[in-house]
Amino acid sequence: MNAVDRALLARLAERPAFHKGRYRNPDRTPRHGLRSFLRWQRETGGRFPTGQAFPLLTPTPEQLQAPAQQPRITWIGHASFLCQMGDINLLTDPVFAERASPVQWAGPRRFTPPALQVADLPPIHKVLISHNHYDHLDRDTVLALHRRFGEQITWYVPQGVGQWFRRRGIHTLVELGWWQSSRDARSEAFFVPAQHFSGRGPHDSNRTLWGGWIIDIDDFRLYFAGDTGYGSCFSEIGDVFGGMDVALLPIGAYAPRWFMQPVHVDPAEAVRIHQDVRARQSIAMHWGTFVLTDEPMDEPPQALRLALAAAGLADTDFQTLQHGETFILDA
Ligand code: ZN
Ligand code: ZN
């Protein structure tokens, strides 16, 4: 594992991200207002595909209970992974809901069911939350995890999101701004920028922060990028950390480009992030699960393969898992 450039990290942490009560991206990005949103909705037909499904693998609880000699990563769907390192089990953006929405009768529907339920999980010790959008932060899932595991879980949340948890009686929180870090006996977590936005309703846009997490556990480094467009922050992340063992990177929700480019990378841009952050291995996420945007549901992995070939990389460098599939890092 490469040493962290602490001096550069400290310099970057001094850069303000908060401006007049709202957070903003490191690179200036256009803000699409209601008009653009309505134009997109008008140009988009009914987009829920029928008669098509992805394979859904179901990992057995026995498989998941065994300690992970080598880092073991299971894709639950969308941005939700179960990452197992030794005897530490971690979840990223756990969402088990049928809809990514404030209500379960409207909003983006789930296309592929979650590969695991809360009851199937081994003991969870850490949960990383990238931002407060509904497809990343789901109230019912958080409450179910809290009921089952209580204060055994440390929740890693972006600056400003802690209040949402405290209101629900959850206080075992690590709440960080960009380039800040927090250490415990066996691990150190860093919150890093992404190019995105936040908000759960009409009045809280960009009031809380968004970003990615890097966590060093023993001598393994995991990077979970969250939701992001392509920006200058990724080469900075590469400079500070010098490399990742595994990067979990988004490849879906990119069409139409005129609307999505500032906030969601396409597969070719995801490959640039893989290179910028110097990932030894990347795994694709944020596709094939919720119907959020206009690209065909099965397009992102195909486009990823083309982008990897164009960059002279192998398919194995940046893998697409099936829902429920487990990836085990080579020794
Ligand atoms: Zn988002
Ligand atoms: Zn998302």
Ligand nearest to C-alpha 205: 1
Question: 311: helix, coil or strand?
Answer: coil
Strands 212-217 and 187-192, bridge-based pairing: antiparallel
pLDDT digits (tens, 9 = 90+) for 241-253: 999 999 999 999 9
Distance 156 CA to ligand 1 centre (A): 17
Amino acid, res. 169: G
Greater confidence, 34 or 81?
81
CB atoms within 10 A of CB 216: 19
The overall average pLDDT reported for the chain is 94
Distance from residue 291's CA to the centre of ligand 2 (Å):
11
Report how far residue 92's alpha carbon sits from residue 99's, in angstroms, rounded to the nearest whole number.
Answer: 18
pLDDT band for 48, please (50, 70, 90 cuts).
low
Q: With pLDDT > 90 as the criterion, what percentage of the chain qualifies? A: 79
Site of tokens 């393969």: 305
What is the CA(69)–ligand 2 centre distance, in A? 31
Where does 172-306 show beta strands of DSSP type E? 173-176, 181-183, 187-192, 212-217, 220-224, 246-250, 282-285
Q: Structural domains in the chain? A: 68-328 (3.60.15.10)
Read off the pLDDT of residues 113-158 as tens digits, 9 standing for 90 and up.
999 999 999 999 999 999 999 999 999 999 999 999 999 999 999 9
Tell me what pLDDT residue 108 has: 84
311 Cα–ligand 2 center, Å: 25
Tokens of 254: 């990119």
Judged by its nearest atom, the ligand closest to the C-alpha of residue 108 is: 2
Considering every ligand atom shown, identify the ligand nearest to the alpha carbon of residue 253 and give its number.
2
79: closest CA among 264, 237, 249?
Answer: 249
Which pLDDT score, from 0 to 100, does residue 45 have?
59
- Ligand 2 centroid to Cα of residue 100, in Å, is 9
- pLDDT exceeds 80 at position 31: no
Whole-number Å distance, alpha carbon 132 to ligand 2 midpoint, is 9
- pTM summary value: 0.96
- Which residues, listed in sequence order, are joined to residue 181 by a DSSP beta bridge? 190
Work out the percent of the chain whose per-residue pLDDT is above 70. 98
d(CA 316, ligand 2 centre) in Å: 24
How far does residue 227's CA lie from ligand 2's centre (Å)?
A: 5
Query: Side chain identity at 138, as an amino acid letter?
Result: D
Cβ pair 205, 198 in contact under 8 A = yes
CA 67 / ligand 2 centre spacing (Å): 30
